[in-house]
Structure 1
């Protein structure tokens, strides 16, 4: 067995523990002398508070008492987090930023590291994910069913599913600890300021929730039941460019737009969630908790637009164009064949999670804990593209298309033909795409990927009071966690062809016109693509090509984690000290099955492939908390940290090529074998981390100040590298090559770098300054992060994805006599992101322009009378209509994406019995 990584890091932690144990004036303190510690990494209770200001105070108290550096969100009341989305609440925490998807906060970056470097749990149990990565999509968890969340920014031996950036633990209520009966219900109407852009879509929808908490049998049995339903519409205008090549492909000429794919989007999100909790405490030393969670997530997007192949096509840039600083800003293309698109994208996902915990205390000096968690996701997507135009490739009218680059919004166009003329337009393949499979070209494409992700987690641990061992340690804990995970994703693709070989078809009988004036096009013919597909006018031809066959994958992973730690409770030079020191020993056994495929059409060759890998990791951690004054803490953490790789990168599949013309070559650099694929032998990202924090809490729960510096030495990062691969046994079409090895581009562990930064928070209540400011409050947070890690090993200027150097948040609120108002703003600077699209698979990174999103809320809660405890709430999101925009090549004029979502509003009532 090779030496576990991180061994050298143990010496630092061991030296720290030795220094503490031998420090002068060290003595064990009584419970009264040492602040009560709240071990938030266990399944403790999230307190329900009743107001926004009170939820802030509870969150601050949780943060103060935590043995680690954490951020905490607590619900205002049952079914009422400070925001309607848990992702938006998390985005207001220091050092955390979100990426919006279709206008919703969805993807988290923590301390400059993207979603792949963090993990998420529900009540301490790791969760499966709907996407190809490990990161959960937070908008799929109804905020109404959550009591709060804890973000762990430093490591602890007792934490499962740790990440390098952090761990986000979503929490549900504990009915016995809640302590009273509660019935709550809410209803909201939500709408967007944008008109319904597609026929049949809606501007508004409803959101409901209800919850019931009670205790029975002399408070030995407690139950909590919750239901939340959302029917949320969305509208959007989306610009997308293909890129910006040189005009006429000459490096001496300016850049010009290569093609465009603008759409109007109308979406409908339906999400129904159920929560159940049963607690049983038959006697004082036994507590059993059963958690049940289910979410049904359905989303449909209707997209209509015209895809214009320009410089990267047979279109011709006409002379007389205008250029400014190396970019063509105005001109015209002739011979343009636009591809009119009527597309639909759907997602249907079922999320299941069940967990059971048994805690037995007072076993002498011991406590035992057993925990079981199981989660599963089934996901089915549909991506239907249908094409229309003036005729097949080489036939029909062509456009002379004028264009003007519009600053940060992309281009607007001036067409010479009428795309709303039903006498001119037909269902066809204007560019002849897919002609290698469909003679004359495809009339569309249907992709229906499906995925299943299953995870079983078993954990058993025991703790023992140490009674001040060596005047330093208060408690010992040791345990084992066993996790098995199996995730597969299959891509099913079909070309749409005309019946009986027809290369063009008449438009469906029921058509309309969609307004594309945001790009200068007055309108385009529109129709229902699902109805067209179901009418039987198309033949479906399965995509046989190698890139589709090799994209299927199945990854299995078994992790066995042994851990032990000692809690510290002592004093150094009369300064109270708490914390812990511990380690994890992790064995990983991972494997994948897939296909290696080559060729297109009838010439495709498919070979089953698999791969596996196992290894050990040693993960030590040390956390120290010094109480240097009343409400003043200095915290220090040193830890080894891991984050497991994207599961799609761990696939065994390979899209390979065999060049028979090089069969006689004996030079590996000129081998007949080549390809690209995944890597089942990928090991985790590993980092050594140091954190130092100062926190000051003001008396009476009137706020706090915290500033933290962090440093992460990322030992490795993942880059696509050419790895030598054995192709023995692969078919060679009768040719005998001299070599059966060749280089394949695969993701592989490569050099890392440093990530460092500082983050701060200031939370204040008006009472701290004057009684005249009673009810007012202010929360400010910000962070600055720098990194030497690069996304592209060959491009030192490419930043790591997800890193915004500057992140800032501000919330101003007022609460008094039942009235509440607040306005919040969150800012993040430019960052590199992978904008997931419904088109080709894979990653396409581009720079997202800095953004500031402003939200507001006003509410009133009746304090007495027949309406007591009823609240009326008005909320507004994205008040400044902040777009999501990206650009290319480091030039903000080269706009790749510009997505406008509009302002969203919500008005409703909630009532608590």
Structure 2
């Protein structure tokens, strides 16, 4: 939220980031003047790593040096996350680590980083691989949820920001390649184990929940038979608690003139919750490598994750102005908004809800490399990735009586600036004698007489992907500057289905009111001014048999189920170049991909509600070709100074739920004789199996200076993406021939359907700046201190809605920056990191995986810190490290507002800080 950024914090941010280029100029001259052997005393526990051309000490500084070297040596623009040691990425998931990279931003879901945006492009434009192999996703879209991947079993990640012919996974924003250990790359056996105790700042907000948890991991690497065989094994378990306070309003409509002639805005309703969650995740990754000689190397990787999250939500939903009520006379109006007043006759809907999701991810891959086969170095890779996800979303309602009966509340309200509202109820919602299980508002009365007592959804999804890749490489000497040739063929076959069953909950035997269960408690809702409410275990009540489940037969549910299959064949060729320009080295590559894809979707076309639903199976198919050229150049214009240039076509394939064939259609017999298509009896909305990929012509120019002994670097990158198309929901004509008409023969068989289509694109452009600086470059007395700063600024002409030019692309923050200050010496280490992103459009719907509700999220600054100590080599506790961690230390909320008024708060979610203490042992 703009009002939350103080002048001091804004000034500090601008000074630190805008000064990067000026600061780097001074550092370059000093860095080259440094003696690389100035500081030779090895402090305790400073493990030495030998990289390609230099030696650095281990720990966090070592991981930064390794990341800098990989960035320096890369033929394209990349960012790197490198672990301090195996099993020692400190975050609970790789998403938290990615969030600190330049140009990368994450959206928090239930308090943890989950959804990744790169250069202003959201998860739909971000590809993801594991050891170069495409991965399936647990959601209804392509994008993987990065919190499914425990950081402890990974050795790092590489974010490819520019295109290259050999990168077959699509991603206009970028491609994130998660990396695991290659055991034969290590020279000795390595075993690391660690454990953490975690707790949340908030006490357990819901009865039966916990505020503390734990996680532990074990990593093992070894080599056998004179280093011909190698094995790597990693296991990580997390039992992580979560507590949160969630304010949500229905919106702020204008009141009618008979309420107030000036028509001020007023709160339409509220749905606040307290949330308690438990995340349990098992992560397992194993690798076997075999290298009998210098020509042959083979490996098998197996990755498995079981991810289960249980959320318990309790609160009271208050229908207010949009519930048919007017504020009582005497309300307070401030600048066009009613900020304080009273609603009379309020029937609150007390909610005891639960949302669970459990998924299993399996990824298996076999890689074989054989050199010098008819002059070519060959590589064959076969992989399969699979997920199965099941979920439960349960709502249960209670109140003072069914619709039109029972006591009503005289509810006072007061808006509290940028945090939502507090209420003053006249009803005691903790009084068992006046509360029953019922439908206070009569919702769903078209299906359940008197209204539903709750609702149950059981979403399921399955996603499987098989990938086969063959690559050949060799050295050549062509035209005096082309030195390598590479070709490849990649076949990816993927099938995904998504299904959701819904049930209205009715009272058994037609009862509209049921008694509360015997075991009840009280949930504290004081954060919204309500002392408390009756709470109970919703699953226990569901399983007790007091409800009758009535399957939701409505057309929108049936039409929402889908199956999508796609086969993508990619052929590519690439030539490497190595020459000089004005006496300076120039390297790079030029290549192209030829992509052929076929895609098919099956689903249901349905019309109507209840017993009147009619349906039929539908199918759609499409195919397309793409020519995807790329040019990458690296020009060394000085000592450790590089100018990188990239020009490439980039692709991102569409969301799979948008590619569904299903359609929720309507037929109006009263218009059967119409001859005007704008008055057609046919209408509907659905998906589009003929969607083609997003395409972009992209340019990148990067200037990078690496300091002496690769101890830090400064980089400035400009990027420009010309999106050739974007996806919009538009009304398009559809032929309804063969669709059911209830016995009526219409004149027209065409009508307009709202569906996603490929439309006009636009431009995305921006600048990134990064500085990684160990302070020992200035003075030996500052050895151990260092800072990593990055900032990115992005602008876009692409809009989410053609009819609303002010609506930006989802996921785009115009400004993203990160800062990490660290100290590491004599076994002691400490660092504090902060990351900021400006406001952005995000999907905040939480009612199951299919929801898509976009709102503008306010800017946020998240602060994390870690302090640790590694005991010295040769001491009694050699190999032991202890540490303390803190996340979200300032309790940064996730918030949004409407109508351009920060007082009109839609969402305000507080997660609280979380803390961990732990120890690791390596031997």
TM-score range, shorter chain: over 0.9
- Cα offset for 1:84? 3.6
Aligned to 1:90: 98
For normalisation by structure 1, the TM-score amounts to 0.94
Match for residue 229 of structure 1 among 237, 240, 259 = 237
Counterpart position of 1:321: 331
Q: Please give the per-residue CA displacement for 1:658-688, whole angstroms capped at 9, x wherever unaligned.
A: 0110000011111000011000011111110
Match of 2:189 among 151, 167, 181: 181
Instruction: Identify which of 489, 502, 507 aligns with 1:498.
Output: 507
Distance 1:441 1:48 in 2: 69
Question: TM-score, normalised on structure 2?
Answer: 0.93
Shift of 1:319: 1.6
Q: Is the 8 A contact 2:90 2:151 kept in 1?
A: no
Query: Contact 2:93–2:148 at 8 Å: present in 1 too?
Result: no
Distance in 1 separating the partners of 2:401 and 2:720: 59
**Paired positions, count:** 867
Secondary structure class of the residue paired with 1:875: strand
Residue 48 of structure 1 contacts residue 55 of structure 1 at CA under 8 Å; is this kept in 2?
no
Deviations, residues 708-741 of structure 1 (Å, cap 9, x unaligned) = 0000001111110011111111111111100111
CA distance in 2, matches of 1:861, 1:297: 31
Q: Which segments of structure 1 move beyond 6 Å, counting only runs of 4 or more?
A: none
- What corresponds to 2:344 in structure 1? 334
Is residue 136–residue 465 contact of structure 2 (8 Å, CA) maintained in 1?
A: yes
Ranges in structure 2 where 5+ consecutive residues have no aligned partner:
1-51
1:54 matched residue in structure 2: 62
Report the alpha carbon displacement of residue 766 of structure 1 after superposing the two structures with TM: 1.2
User: Does structure 1 residue 378 correspond to structure 2 residue 388?
Assistant: yes
Could you say if the C-alpha distance between residues 498 and 840 of structure 1 is closer, same or farther in structure 2, counting changes exceeding 3 Å? farther
**Which residue among 62, 75, 79 is the counterpart of 2:87?**
79
Q: Aligned partners of 2:747, 2:373: CA distance in 1, in Å?
A: 70
Question: Does the 8 A contact of 2:383 with 2:467 survive in 1?
Answer: yes
- Secondary structure at 1:370's aligned position in 2? strand
The answer on whether the counterparts of 1:107 and 1:138 sit within 8 Å (CA) in structure 2 is yes
State the SS of the aligned residue for 2:688.
coil
Alignment of 1:311-710 (within 5 A): 311-467=321-477, 469-710=478-719
User: Aligned equivalents of 1:193 and 1:886: distance in 2?
Assistant: 23
- Matched residues in 2 for 1:148 and 1:298: separation? 24
The match for 2:904 is: 894
Give secondary structure in 1 for the equivalent of 2:738: coil
Q: How far has the Cα of 1:145 moved from its partner?
A: 0.3
| 2:765 equivalent to 1:762 | no
Counterpart of 1:10 in structure 2 is none
Alpha-carbon distance in 2 for matches of 1:49, 1:772: 17
Matches of 1:819 and 1:364, distance apart in 2: 54
Partner of 2:221: 213
Shift, 1:890, TM fit: 2.5
Shift of 1:162: 2.0
Counterpart pick for 1:780 among 760, 784, 789? 789
Cα deviations across residues 499-535 of structure 1 (Å, max 9, x unaligned)? 1000010000111110000000000000000100111
Structure 1, unpaired ranges of 5+: 1-43
1:650 is paired with a residue of what secondary structure? coil
1:155 maps to 2:163: yes
Distance, in Å, in 2 between the alignment partners of 1:330 and 1:49 is 61
Q: How does 1:168-207 map to 2 (within 5 A)?
A: 168-207=176-215
* CA distance, structure 2, for counterparts of residue 180 and residue 362 of structure 1: 29
Q: Displacement, 1:189?
A: 0.2
Contact 1:620 1:639 in 2 (8 A): yes
Q: For each residue in 1:594-637, what CA deviation from the matched residue of structure 2 results, as whole angstroms up to 9, or x when unmatched?
A: 00101111000111111010010000000000000000000000
Per the alignment, residue 37 of structure 1 pairs with none
2:275 corresponds to which residue?
265
- Say whether the 8 Å CA contact 2:459–2:849 is kept in structure 1: no
Q: What is the distance in 2 between the residues matched to 1:162 and 1:249?
A: 54
Alignment CA distance shift 1:457-1:249 (3 Å): farther
Contact 1:825 1:854 in 2 (8 A): yes
Which residue of structure 1 aligns with residue 288 of structure 2? 278
Aligned counterpart, 2:18? none
User: Residue 822 of structure 1 is aligned with which of 817, 831, 838?
Assistant: 831
- The secondary structure found in structure 2 opposite 1:749 is strand
SS of residue matched to 2:802: coil
Residue of structure 1 in register with 2:20 after alignment:
none
Asked whether the 8 Å contact 1:248–1:311 carries over to 2, the reply is: no
Match of 1:290 among 300, 303, 310: 300
Contact 1:49/1:75 (CA < 8 Å) preserved in 2?
no
1:832 to 820, 841, 858: 841
Work out the CA distance in 1 between the residues paired with 2:539 and 2:56.
46
2:146 is matched with which residue?
Answer: 138
Query: Take 1:836 and 1:219, find their aligned partners in 2: how far apart are those partners?
Result: 52
Q: Which residue of 1 aligns with 2:918?
A: 908
Q: Tell me the distance in 1 between the aligned counterparts of 2:799 and 2:863.
A: 31
Q: Cα RMSD (Å) of the superposition?
A: 1.3
On the 8 A contact 2:137/2:463 being kept in 1, the answer is yes
Cα pair 1:753 1:787 within 8 Å, conserved:
yes
Q: Secondary structure at the match of 2:292?
A: strand
Q: Report if aligned partners of 1:314, 1:335 keep a CA contact under 8 Å in 2.
A: no
* Worse-superposed segment, 194-203 or 250-259: 250-259
Q: Is the 8 Å Cα contact of residues 287 and 358 (structure 1) preserved in structure 2?
A: yes
> 1:748 is paired with a residue of what secondary structure?
strand
Whole-Å separation in 1 of the counterparts to 2:361 and 2:426: 50
Between the aligned partners of 1:310 and 1:550, the Cα distance in structure 2 is 32
Q: Partners of 1:96 and 1:212 in 2: how far apart?
A: 31
**CA-to-aligned-CA distance 1:331-358 (integer Å, 9 cap, x gap):** 1111111100000000110000001100
Distance 2:185 2:352 in 1: 53
The CA distance in 2 between the partners of 1:396 and 1:568, in whole Å, is: 80
**2:601 & 2:262 partners in 1: Cα distance?**
48
Q: State the secondary structure of the residue aligned to 1:246.
A: coil
